[in-house]
Amino acid sequence: MMDRPDQRACVNGLTNDRKAIFRCVICSICGTFAVVVFLSSPPPLALMLGFPAEKTPSMDFSSARQSSRPPRLAITASFTLIAVFVIWLILPRRSDPQDEVLPLPVISKAVAVLNGETVSGTVTFTQLFPTAPVTVSGEVKNLKTSTKHGFHVHASGDLSNGCASAGSHFNPFERTHGAPTDIDRHVGDLGNIETDSKGVASFTFEDSLLSLNGPLSIVGRSVVVHAGTDDLGRGGDDESLKTGNAGGRAACGVIGLAA
């Protein structure tokens, strides 16, 4: 089985051969057309050589008869040329793979592994098809017991400086911060997750703004669990409309493709 470079070279060769054949066919047709036109109304040899020719009655009669006869061969050749060109246009032909736009694969599942100083967990995102809601499920451990913690998708997947370099909430539409059910919210606003008496938060919910596909895909971005509770934009101050006053970043992880 040929690898991709060999296949590309093979297709390029076929494409180049087709172009060369087409040029030869067009040149042949044009040459034939010129000969047919020449034969349908042949000029006197003297005129072709640049010398004036004497007109004779026989020549006048022949010229008159010839000029009155419609150039059927020339018309036929013209239509033939047009027909061949149209057929060439509509025939299917292989193009260069470099010019082809390949469809992007549909992503149906992604995973983020969360890590912090003490907090850890895993979050899974699933999407049945590109326009379907995303199901978010996971478990986060070692949080404060029986409390709510802000839970967001952040814009950057850069964790080179820990959770601090994950950027702000994913907000491609430049809205204010809100609850997951609000119309005016960040795409990354996922509200709060709640822990039990052991400090474990287990959750499963759907979100209609998140997507694993398309230009607003969250794959490659990050998930952040905050130390405090998200006030969902109801705090009455500027910070509430930006971060929900959710406090520090307890754990984070990059959203990657699931195996």
Active site residues: 152, 154, 169, 177, 186, 189, 226, 249
Nearest to 191 by CA among 229, 227, 156, 164: 229
Displacement of CA 30 from its chain's centroid (Å): 42
**CA dihedral in degrees (164, 167, 170, 176; nearest 10)?**
90
Per-residue 3-state assignment (H helix, E strand, C coil) for the chain: CCCHHHHHHHHHHHHHHHHHHHHHHHHHHHHHHHHHHHHHCCCCHHHHCCCCCCCCHHHHHHHHHHHHCCCHHHHHHHHHHHHHHHHHHHCCCCCCHHHCCCCCCCCCEEEEEEECCCCEEEEEEECCCCCCCEEEEEEEECCCCCCEEEEEEECCCCCEEEEHHHCCECCCCCCCCCCCCCCCCCCCEEEEEECCCCCCEEEEEEECCCCCCCCCCCCCCEEEEECCCCCCCCCCCCCCCCCCCCCCEEEEEEEEECC
